[in-house]
Amino acid sequence: MDVTVAVARWLAGDGVAAAADLSCGNGAILTSISAAVKYYGDFAPGYQHQGSIEETIGQIPDVDLFVCSETLEHLDDPDVVLGRIRERSRMLVLSTPVDAWNDSNPEHYWAWSREDVEEMLTAAGWQMHVYATADFRPMGLPYCFGIWGVR
């Protein structure tokens, strides 16, 4: 998560007016950046926006920065969601496993390479600004995460 936070802080710079994370788990990434208004969402009780990202993205106004961390691989149609985020935000921090071809997690519907994700981002209208990885495989964990900062 530290790498994702670093990318989010880099994109946000000195702060943004509004930011959203509608699949935020514990909300730590969004909490780490300076934004006047923050929209949190997830399935968990207590969030201001509850439900799937496909539903809740229509509940928020446009934002400067959208965080989508370890969510894309769970969605029925990730291309549609990337397009919807593009319509609502001028910047995106995205993280997802890359090269997880033998992923045993049944909740992960998709596996892709860095290049695959970048093609999806481009097709949705995003332009690359920064890419980083967090590779946990040498420690015996199953994933290498790609982390993109796009505008």
31-87 pLDDT, tens digit per residue, is 999 999 999 999 988 899 999 999 999 999 999 999 999 999 999 999 999 999 999
Closest CA to 24 of 15, 16, 32: 32
In the 8-state DSSP scheme, what is residue 44? S
Residue 25 in this model has a pLDDT that exceeds 90 = no
Contact 84, 125 (CB under 8 A): no
Label the pairing between strands 16-21 and 144-150: unpaired
pTM as predicted = 0.96
Region 135-144: what's the mean pLDDT?
Answer: 95
Q: Which CATH architecture has domain 2-150?
A: 3-Layer(aba) Sandwich (3.40)
d(CA 67, CA 44): 17
* Residue 65 Cα distances to 57, 84, 110, angstroms: 13, 13, 24
